[in-house]
């Protein structure tokens, strides 16, 4: 049975509504005023809270906040007199399910209560399904079920237990950080430190002293001793992000350290033994940098004893739906909003888009959509403009292939002809060109029109 709490200043209203809703099969508690309502909420979980906006000892907004603080999925309906609709609207923005104007007709209120219950049922169902789904397809917060991602995860679980150096390659936002942490967390070094540094944007001297440390007076400005990250990550893992940006001089030093397993702080001749597992990441293909002479080949082979390539999101479209739902759940929880899913239109756009910023872009887009969403579903309008207005296919072609404009035109004409059963008039109409123009293009591109099918007499 659904439990509801009704709060008002007038005993007669409470009595009427209690009898009415008990007859409809609800469990009903009533509270005369805000303090009474709060003390009841302290002792029981209510599925629904119906409260007057103005109470002699408090406000409906206060009750709303209190109730959401105890149980986010409990829905609150606000009753208000005519003059106070604005504050009722404010209540909606704070997460109330709905409001009704006084004098309240129990029948009308019932309709709203029923809608709130429907939403709760839906959310519970979606929540249970999602949990099952997420447990099945996650490893250390890494979600995915596409074969290519699972392959990469397989490597993670195999190398985690060892001490070998791992190179992670993947475009921006594909999850390189996440993977590096997953390796560390599943390794025997998990209790040790995980130290990360981004090699891009640091000049030679700075990166050198960050990694290897220095002693006081080693250079102008070295006013104190500094432990390097290699020493700090002793017993744990050192993660060098954007390793491709490392200046050649630092590369030479890193190579020596990896060979000897010993470091010397800048300006010191003391040798320090190190016990660190190295994980590196790059958003560019490191081998290309080797070919261009920007990355040392010997170092390359030393850091990529095992290589993991994380596929870009477009290479694993089958994960988009799973990730979208995962982020939807994550952000609706974080923002205290009950968003059940995506409209079909919105989902199609998401699936169609080419996601140049990969998982990070998807995550950010869903976060803003959840914040903007006004209904229980994310609609097209809630998505960032770059996604809702883009033509995914054209965008994909433009970014991923070297096709010429003429080639594109030719193929587009062929596909349109096929779609209209090789009917040239319909094709020309569809392309909004004249039949003569179409005919000229067919000749120019030497498009073969198949002879009409002869049906048996």
Ligand X SMILES: Nc1ncnc2c1ncn2[C@@H]1O[C@H](COP(=O)(O)OP(=O)(O)OP(=O)(O)O)[C@@H](O)[C@H]1O
**Could you tell which of Mg ion, ligand X, none binds residue 175, using a CB distance below 5 to 8 A set by kind?**
ligand X
Q: Which is nearer to ligand X, 163 or 177 (CB)?
A: 177
Backbone angles phi, psi at 414, to 5 degrees: -60, -45
Q: Identify which of residues 175 and 213 has a Cβ nearer to ligand X in the complex.
A: 175
Residue 251 contact among ligand X, Mg ion, none, beta carbon within 5 to 8 Å by kind: none
Length in residues, the chain: 457
- Lay out the sheet containing 75-80: strands in order across: 27-32, 3-8, 48-52, 75-80, 98-101
Q: SS3 for 302?
A: helix
175 in contact with ligand X (CB under 6 A): yes
Tokens in use for 338? Answer: 């009950």
Enumerate residues 6+ apart whose C-beta is below 8 A from 88.
Answer: 53, 78, 80, 96, 99
Q: Which is nearer to Mg ion, 174 or 187 (CB)?
A: 174
Tell me the C-alpha distance between 163 and 286, whole Å: 21
| Other CB atoms within 10 Å distance of the CB of residue 56 | 10
What does 144 bind: Mg ion, ligand X, none (CB cut-off 5 to 8 Å by kind)? ligand X
Interactions with ligand X, residue window 126-145 (CB under 6 A) = 141-144
List 259's β-bridge partners, or say none: none
State the binding partner of 213 from ligand X, Mg ion, none, CB within 5 to 8 A by kind. none
Given candidates 337, 360, 411, 441, which one binds ligand X under the rule CB under 6 A?
360
The residue of the chain with the least Cβ separation from Mg ion equals 177
- Residues forming the site for Mg ion (CB under 5 A): 176-177
- Smallest gap, in angstroms, from Cβ of residue 350 to ligand X? 15
Closer to Mg ion by Cβ: residue 26 or 355 = 355
Q: Which one-letter DSSP state was computed for residue 314?
A: G
Beta bridge partners of 81: none
The site partner of 236 among Mg ion, ligand X, none (C-beta below 5 to 8 Å per kind) is none
Q: How far apart, in whole angstroms, are the C-alpha atoms of residue 452 and residue 440? A: 20
List all residues 6 or more positions away from 154 whose beta carbon is below 8 Å from its beta carbon.
none
Closest to ligand X by CB, 30 or 283: 283
CA separation, residue 311 to residues 71, 131, 153, 316 (Å)? 40, 25, 11, 7
396: Cα separation from own chain's centroid: 21
315 DSSP assignment: G
| Least distance in angstroms from the C-beta of 123 to Mg ion | 34
If one asks whether residue 283 binds ligand X (CB under 6 A), the answer comes out as: yes
Which does residue 311 bind out of Mg ion, ligand X, none, counting CB within 5 to 8 angstroms by kind? none
245 binds, among Mg ion, ligand X, none (CB under 5 to 8 A by kind): none
Q: How far is the CB of 149 from ligand X (least distance, A)?
A: 7
**Shortest Å, Cβ 416 to ligand X:** 38
> Residues binding ligand X: what is the number (CB under 6 A)?
17
Burial of 429 (0-12, 13-18, 19+ CB in 10 A): middle
> What mask of x and - would describe binding to ligand X in positions 176 to 195, judged by CB under 6 A?
xxx-----------------
| CA–CA gap between residue 101 and residue 179 (Å, rounded) | 53
CA–CA distance, 113 with 74 (Å, rounded to integer)? 12
Please identify, using beta-carbon distances, which residue of 141 and 259 lies nearer to ligand X.
141
**Minimum separation from the CB atom of position 180 to ligand X (A):** 8
Contact pick of 60, 91, 173, 213 for ligand X (by CB under 6 A): 173
Q: How many CB atoms lie within 10 A of CB 224?
A: 8
Return the axis-axis angle of helices 147-160 and 176-185, rounded to nearest 10°: 40
Residue closer to Mg ion, measured from CB, 177 or 294: 177
Q: Which residue is nearest to ligand X (CB)?
A: 175
Interface positions, 304-333, toward ligand X (CB under 6 A): 323
Tokens of 138: 């996650």
Going by the DSSP 8-state scheme, the letter that residue 453 receives in this structure is P
Binding-site partner at residue 283 among ligand X, Mg ion, none, CB < 5 to 8 Å by type: ligand X
Peptide bond between residue 103 and the one before it cis (omega within 30 degrees of 0): yes
Least distance from C-beta 280 to ligand X, angstroms?
12
Nearer to Mg ion, 168 or 378 (CB): 168
Nearer to ligand X, 60 or 311 (CB): 311
Instruction: Determine contact, residues 195/238, Cβ cutoff 8 Å.
Output: yes
Contacted entry of ligand X, Mg ion, none for residue 228, CB cut-off 5 to 8 Å set by kind: none
Compare residues 87 and 198 and give the one whose CB is closer to ligand X.
198
> 362-381: which residues touch ligand X (CB under 6 A)?
363
244: contact with ligand X by CB under 6 A:
no
Which one of Mg ion, ligand X, none is in contact with 162 (Cβ closer than 5 to 8 A by kind)?
none
Q: Rg (Cα) of the chain, in Å, rounded?
A: 31
Q: How far apart are CA 422 and CA 425, in angstroms?
A: 9
State the binding partner of 278 from Mg ion, ligand X, none, CB within 5 to 8 A by kind: none
* Residue ranges that bind ligand X, judged by CB under 6 A: 141-144, 170, 172-178, 283, 323, 359-360, 363
């Amino acid at each position: 049975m659904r439990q509801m709490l009704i709060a008002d200043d007038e005993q007669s209203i409470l009595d009427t509504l209690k009898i009415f809703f008990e007859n409809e099969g609800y469990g009903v508690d009533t509270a005369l005023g805000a303090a009474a309502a709060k003390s009841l909420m302290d002792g029981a979980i209510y599925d629904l809270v119906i409260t007057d906006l103005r109470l002699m000892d408090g406000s409906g907004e206060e009750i709303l906040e209190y109730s959401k603080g105890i149980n986010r999925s409990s829905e609150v309906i606000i009753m208000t007199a005519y003059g106070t609709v604005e504050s009722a609207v404010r209540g909606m923005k704070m997460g109330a399910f709905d409001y009704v104007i006084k004098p309240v007709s129990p029948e009308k209120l019932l309709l709203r209560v029923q809608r709130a219950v429907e939403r709760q049922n839906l959310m519970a169902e979606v929540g249970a399904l999602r949990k099952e789904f997420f447990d099945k397809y996650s490893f250390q917060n890494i979600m995915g079920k596409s074969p290519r991602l699972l392959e990469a995860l397989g490597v993670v679980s195999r190398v985690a237990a060892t001490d070998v150096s791992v190179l992670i390659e993947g475009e921006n936002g594909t999850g390189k950080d996440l993977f590096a942490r997953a390796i560390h967390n599943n390794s025997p070094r998990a209790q040790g430190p995980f130290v990360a540094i981004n090699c891009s944007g640091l000049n030679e001297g700075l990166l050198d002293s960050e990694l290897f440390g220095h002693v006081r007076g080693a250079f102008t400005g070295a006013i104190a001793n500094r432990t390097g990250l290699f020493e700090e990550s002793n017993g744990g893992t050192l993660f060098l992000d954007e390793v491709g940006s490392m200046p050649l001089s630092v590369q030479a030093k890193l190579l020596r350290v990896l060979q000897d397993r010993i470091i010397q702080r800048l300006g010191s001749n003391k040798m320090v033994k190190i016990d660190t597992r190295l994980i590196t990441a790059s958003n560019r293909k490191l081998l290309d940098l080797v070919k261009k002479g920007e990355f040392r080949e010997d170092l390359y082979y030393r850091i990529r004893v095992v290589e993991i390539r994380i596929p870009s999101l477009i290479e694993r479209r089958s994960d988009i739906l799973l990730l979208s739902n995962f982020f939807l759940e994550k952000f609706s929880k974080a923002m205290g909003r009950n968003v059940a899913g995506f409209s079909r239109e919105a989902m199609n756009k998401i699936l169609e888009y080419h996601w140049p910023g990969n998982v990070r872009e998807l995550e950010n887009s869903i976060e803003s959509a959840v914040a903007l969403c006004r209904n229980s579903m994310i609609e097209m309008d809630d998505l960032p403009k770059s996604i809702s207005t883009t033509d995914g296919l054209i965008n994909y072609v433009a970014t991923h292939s070297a096709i010429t404009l003429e080639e594109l035109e030719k193929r587009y004409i062929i596909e349109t002809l096929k779609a209209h059963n090789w009917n040239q008039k319909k094709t020309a109409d569809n392309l909004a060109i004249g039949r003569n123009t179409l005919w000229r293009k067919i000749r120019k591109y030497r498009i073969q029109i198949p002879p009409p099918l002869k049906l048996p007499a």
